[in-house]
Chain A
Amino acid sequence: MVQEKKYAFYLGCIMPNRYPAIEKSTRYVMEKIGYELLDMERAGCCPAPGVLRSFDKEDWMVAAARNICIAEKMDVDLLTVCNGCFGTLQEVNTQLHENEELRERVNLKLKLLGDYEFKGTIEVKHVAALLSIDIGPTEIQEHLVRRVNATTAIHYGCHFLKPSQVRQIDSPEDPTILEDFVEALGIKSLNFKQKYTCCGAGGGIKAAYADTSMTILSEKMKHISDVNPDFILDVCPFCHLQFESGQDWLKKNHDINYDIPVFHLSQITAYCMGMEERYMGLQYQNNGKKYELIPIEVQTND
């Protein structure tokens, strides 16, 4: 049994190296709901399930197993904040758990990287699943100091729910967990066309075929702007980067200025739990800088 109420905090790449405010917010939220986050020293890239898995699946698996081993040594489950990291780590953890032959092969190569051996003792958890399912919309209310009067366009992303037979979190065609959760924060989730489509960043497309990636995002942005949300809500720093850089690209190349702020679930949840607004980091983002959150103070009985 792993230690309870503790997680190995897996950072990945884009969160600590592009959107540190998401990291700050996640740390705040986890502390408020009574979890301790432990640093994973010497962790590396997950590695990315689209781009790096495409070159060499076995090396991808070894590098992922190495990250999982760091958490195993700490005897705690692993927490991730990104769909890509979750996609890689949860899938590799599952596959190595189930397939002994694969595990032996990966363990052989792991020895070359340091004192590592995959044992299969921990679980990989996405912060959005932890908040919206394990804590849930009812219990989260005990931790709120304010709600937000706002509307939002929720973006689940792909690797959080799919492949559903591996993830086993919610329906990939009609999920509801995030809608239920943000309602508890006072936020109204808007329906929009093609809500569950991809942001266009994954699979190595954003790096190598930027125009294709941006075309996919542009259609998504059009449908989002049609319903005029106060902000876009994602659960993945890579989708987050795509919504930010995509809006910049539209401004630059097509003179379309949506200027819609983009928040990760951790950012908005932390704010509702009382984190100072400046730590949400909107001032560092390129879109929706002028947006002002409308807080509704939560009445307490004591």
Chain B
Amino acid sequence: MTINDFLNEKKKYVELSDFDSHFFDDIANRSKILTCIQCGTCTASCESGRWTALKTRIIIRKLILGDLSVLKDPDIWLCTTCYNCYERCPRDVKPTDVIIDLRNYASKLGNIHPVHRKVVDFLKATGHAVPINDKIKQMRKELDMEEIPPTLYKFKDEENSELTKYAKELFNLVPPKDEKEEVKDKGKKV
């Protein structure tokens, strides 16, 4: 069965919108998830899953079955990207990359944690996910270092600064999703 056969087969059960079919096509092509034999090595190796409800094997299983609820599952955000599953998967499914792809699609639906949105705000305002502060500036002085490192932040006030372009072009997140929209997706599960 080729990936296209599989997707056609799936369409009998799930009415896929353009977004959804693009989503499955993309994930399946990139990561060979259809070769997953559900052995559970990923779950057994998972550093986060030891403490949380994150079960990588089940996420991959749902994905194969076309269950779109994975995109709203907060568990996909519990992966630390430690790459143990990626290293050990006997079918080279690269589950870490699959989870990152899932997060990308979840983000396109606006499913992003408010704290993560703040990290992006920092990035756009300073060029850093972790910006400098007065305490650190003082520390740098005491260590006989330049008070402000020569990164985007230092040049932020230049005319037509690169930080302005950077903030304008990159990581423009979809706003938080309206609750009413979510009801529409429910009929799409297999």
Please tell me if the beta carbons of B81 and A49 are within 8 angstroms of each other in the complex: yes
Contact with A along B68-96 (1 / 0, CB 8 A): 00000000011111111011000000101
Cα distance A54–B77 when bound, in Å? Answer: 9
B21, CB-defined interface residue at 8 Å: no
Which residues from A are CB-within-8-Å of B101? 57
CA distance A18 to B120 in the complex (A): 18
**A74 on the interface (CB 8 Å rule)?**
no
Say whether A54 contacts B104, CB under 8 Å.
yes
Question: What DSSP secondary structure best describes chain A's contact surface?
Answer: loop
Given A158-B83, A162-B87, A173-B87: A114 in contact with B162 (beta carbons within 8 A): yes
B171 contacts A45, C-beta separation under 8 Å: no
Q: Contacts of B112 on A, CB cut-off 8 Å?
A: 55
How far, in whole Å, are A165 and B130 apart by their CA atoms in the complex? 29
> How many chain-B residues does the 8 Å CB contact rule pick out?
56
Residues A16 and B104 in contact, CB atoms below 8 Å apart: no
Q: How many residues of A contact B (CB 8 A)?
A: 61
| In the complex, A41 has a CB within 8 A of chain B | yes
A180 in the interface (beta carbon within 8 A): no
Between A and B, how many residue pairs show CB distances below 8 Å?
Answer: 189
A215 at the interface (CB under 8 A from B): yes
Question: Cβ of A209 and Cβ of B119 under 8 Å apart?
Answer: no
Chain B hits for A18, CB < 8 A: 130, 136
Segment 55-72 of B: residues with Cβ below 8 Å from A: none
A44-B152, A197-B47, A216-B47 known; A158+B145 contact, CB < 8 A: no
Residues in B145-176 with C-beta less than 8 Å from chain A:
145, 149-152, 155, 162-163, 165-166, 169-171, 173
Cβ contacts A4-45/B at 8 Å (1 or 0 each): 000000010110111011011000000000000001111111
Q: Is the CB of B115 within 8 A of A42?
A: no
Cβ contacts under 8 Å, A284 to chain B: 139
